[in-house]
Structure 1
């Protein structure tokens, strides 16, 4: 039985990594998926792969920091596909710089990361609000282990702040939208092998080892490891779950 049949799902950052895997997983479960990414070519290629596999998929270019563009894309999707009933806020960036570096770089990191990782979640959610209310939909935000902690490895305070913010926004939206039948949850990935961290993995294997040694399951995650939780939170299997975060970190936070 397809768990997401008759749903229309919009996924940001769907051109690669976790977003791309979730889009494919949703399509396999019967959803019509709309892939949104600042990289229009990558989103189109991912949508084409889904269609070639027998799924239903469209793609649009979207910069989540551009609020007017978010609303314009939401209107386009409503006209072409219908009201979105599942929204996955996945688009994000990371930069591993501390606050004590060159001032201009520190400020730019802060502004870019908060604009995409946190304000972007607000922008896209706000744009799809009418559709989600009409469908009694569900929102899945991609948080992180850094929604709870600042990692001991050299990392960005802006990224940690953004992911704390995503969890806070998830809870606030769940409280506000519950009366409309809209459920809002998050997923907290641990160290997942994606294009986002490909350069770091190649240049600093010692850093990867630190993460893996601290992970009870003894390995880094794959994008596909996030698909199951994403399907659960988008489906009726989680009909009484809202304001929660499902950790998919290999047990990182247990030790």
Structure 2
């Protein structure tokens, strides 16, 4: 079913690499015009280049999701060429340090992670809210397996807290915006192989092995494994789905 997103304008935060880049490419293949938002403008341009080389339509915009005014300004600029109807809140970071460690470092990690992973989701969503209500749009938030569990990923209190918050925000917004025809859902990735976490995976083979022992599909995921659910949630195929999180974790939570 090609062209599932024909006529849509999609904005994707953190679209310059990894999961975000995979989602941008998938949306463009399905006919959407994609606005790639990333604090790393070079990465955003890389994604745009991949999309255009495949015949798709995309543009790159630098955005720091922690800057609330910048989010508003960029939303207003994008609206001049048409309101978005799809928003993907994907931008995020992680640092795995014990909360019992150096107090200053722990506090810095907490502030940085929450400001991007949770406050950033609010900032971007609020900035585009009028457009999404006008288009009866759909929001896709990227949660995590850590929206539910954390025992396989110790030393990540801030990240786990942020992803629990993303799931709560998803459900609260779905309840509030349903009357406006706006659907709000999330995806919960398990361990996904990206360039960003390549070093962490290489340095923590025991962690990777532990995750694989709890993953019935017996492999780590790839960005395209998240892109499929993201297309489904952005398309009319999920027209009666809101307030949900689709787990794309290889079955981790079943074991």
Aligned to 2:128: 128
Q: Deviations over 1:14-50 (max 9, x none)?
A: 0000000000000000000000000001101111210
Q: Deviations over 1:98-128 (max 9, x none)?
A: 2100000100010000000000000000000
Check whether the contact 1:193–1:223 (CA below 8 A) recurs between aligned residues: yes
Q: Deviations over 1:187-214 (max 9, x none)?
A: 0000001123111112222221111111
Uncovered stretches (5+) of structure 1, i.e. residues with no partner: none
Structure 1 residue ranges, 4+ long, deviating more than 2 angstroms after superposition? 151-155
Following the alignment from structure 2 to structure 1, what is the Cα–Cα distance between the partners of residues 12 and 68?
16
Following the alignment from structure 2 to structure 1, what is the Cα–Cα distance between the partners of residues 182 and 96?
35
1:223 aligns with 2:223: yes
Following the alignment from structure 1 to structure 2, what is the Cα–Cα distance between the partners of residues 132 and 152?
36
Aligned to 2:145: 145
Q: Deviations over 1:130-188 (max 9, x none)?
A: 10000000000000011011233423100000000000000000001000000000000
Aligned to 1:33, the other structure's residue is in SS state: strand
Following the alignment from structure 1 to structure 2, what is the Cα–Cα distance between the partners of residues 195 and 221?
13
1:184 aligns with 2:188: no
Following the alignment from structure 1 to structure 2, what is the Cα–Cα distance between the partners of residues 153 and 161?
13
Aligned to 1:195, the other structure's residue is in SS state: coil
Following the alignment from structure 2 to structure 1, what is the Cα–Cα distance between the partners of residues 26 and 110?
32
Following the alignment from structure 2 to structure 1, what is the Cα–Cα distance between the partners of residues 24 and 171?
24
Aligned to 1:35: 36
TM-score, with normalisation over the residues of structure 1? 0.98
Following the alignment from structure 2 to structure 1, what is the Cα–Cα distance between the partners of residues 57 and 41?
18
Deviation at 1:55, TM superposition (A): 0.2
Uncovered stretches (5+) of structure 2, i.e. residues with no partner: none
Following the alignment from structure 2 to structure 1, what is the Cα–Cα distance between the partners of residues 6 and 226?
20
Deviation at 1:224, TM superposition (A): 0.6
Check whether the contact 1:9–1:87 (CA below 8 A) recurs between aligned residues: yes
Following the alignment from structure 2 to structure 1, what is the Cα–Cα distance between the partners of residues 151 and 49?
37
Q: Deviations over 1:59-102 (max 9, x none)?
A: 100000000000111111111x3100000000000011121000
Aligned to 1:136, the other structure's residue is in SS state: coil
RMSD of aligned alpha carbons:
0.8
1:10 aligns with 2:14: no
Aligned residues: 254
Aligned to 1:49, the other structure's residue is in SS state: helix
Check whether the contact 1:186–1:244 (CA below 8 A) recurs between aligned residues: yes
Check whether the contact 1:136–1:181 (CA below 8 A) recurs between aligned residues: yes
Aligned to 1:129, the other structure's residue is in SS state: helix
